[in-house]
Amino acid sequence: MTGLAELIPELAVVVLAAGLSIILHEVAHGWVAYRLGDPTAKLAGRLTLNPLAHIDPVGTLLVPGLLLLLATVTKAPIILFGWARPVPINPLYFRRPYRDLMLVGLAGPLLNLSLAGLGLAAWQPLSRSSQPLPELLGLFLAALILINLILAFYNLIPIPPLDGSRVLAYFLPPRGRMLLHRLEPFGLFLALGVLFLLWQSKLLERLLEPLLRFLGLGP
């Protein structure tokens, strides 16, 4: 129990970075949709940073909590993942639905890349300072950078329900768009399958290895 108690501040910092990144990702979708004429997210109260408005009982609480408990008990390298409640979008408000859906889809990953950039911009001068970087602040910035890069690139994979599917749909002919629509009922399984393949192949680990070394988190 002592070891777990010592981990609580670190877990809290990582959860804070993850929660901020996921919430801002969803708010970015809703804000761009609102700017393009769709008030659905605003009317639903989703253009807010209040985490209670974005919590999905299963994706935000149950799944990450069970995975975290399993990783703590078994000491196994388990990917922690989850999701917030998707921001409601109504494309009937859009003047150019496929183009506007693409812009809405891109808003989340671009926001995540911006947060990762801000984290790096803060990390560099602080890490070079003569004063040692406070451990929890360093962990927060490292988590902010890594989580946002992973969120951005994972969400750009062009399969539903990920944001990349909206980008792909804009460039596809009508028959290709129909195929994407038919895949939507299986989207969650496809997304989890891709996540599992990335973990099994260690591709994500290899891609992030230079950054992890730069942040002092790798071998």
Cis before 57? omega within 30: no
Mean pLDDT of 56-70: 73
Band (pLDDT 50/70/90 cuts) for residue 1 is very low
pLDDT at res. 184: 86
What does the block give as tokens for 141? 């910035």
Domain boundaries, the chain: 2-214
Supply the pTM of this predicted model.
0.85
Of the candidates 168, 172, 145, the one whose C-alpha atom is nearest the C-alpha of residue 155 is 168
pLDDT for the residue 129? 64
For 146-175, how does the pLDDT look when each residue is reduced to its tens digit (9 = 90+)? 889 888 988 999 998 899 999 999 999 999
Please tell me the predicted confidence (pLDDT) of residue 74. Answer: 64
Q: How confident is the model at residue 2 (pLDDT cuts 50, 70, 90)?
A: very low
- Is the pLDDT at 24 greater than 90? The verdict is yes
Percentage of the chain with pLDDT > 90? 37
Distance in angstroms (rounded) separating the CA atoms of residues 147 and 135: 18
Q: Confirm if 36 and 104 have CB atoms less than 8 A apart.
A: yes
Please tell me which residue, 11 or 2, carries the higher pLDDT value: 11
Burial of 199 (0-12, 13-18, 19+ CB in 10 A): middle
Binned at pLDDT 50, 70 and 90, residue 135 comes out as confident
Q: Tens digit of pLDDT for each residue in 73-131?
A: 666 555 666 778 889 999 999 999 999 999 999 999 999 999 999 998 888 777 666 66
At residue 214, the pLDDT reads: 67
CA distances from 77 to 19, 58, 135, 172, 206 (A): 21, 22, 23, 38, 15
Report which of 144, 196, 186, 150 is spatially closest to residue 165, judged by C-alpha positions: 186
Say whether 10 is catalytic: no
Nearest to 68 by CA among 81, 59, 83, 56: 81
Per-residue pLDDT of 28-61, as tens digits, reads 999 999 999 999 999 999 999 898 888 888 777 7
* Residue 197: per-residue pLDDT: 81
Higher-confidence position of 72 and 2: 72
Q: How remote is the C-alpha of 54 from its chain's centroid?
A: 13
Residue 112 to residues 31, 65, 72, 100, Cα–Cα distance (Å): 14, 23, 28, 19
Which residue out of 10, 26, 205, 209 is catalytically annotated? 26
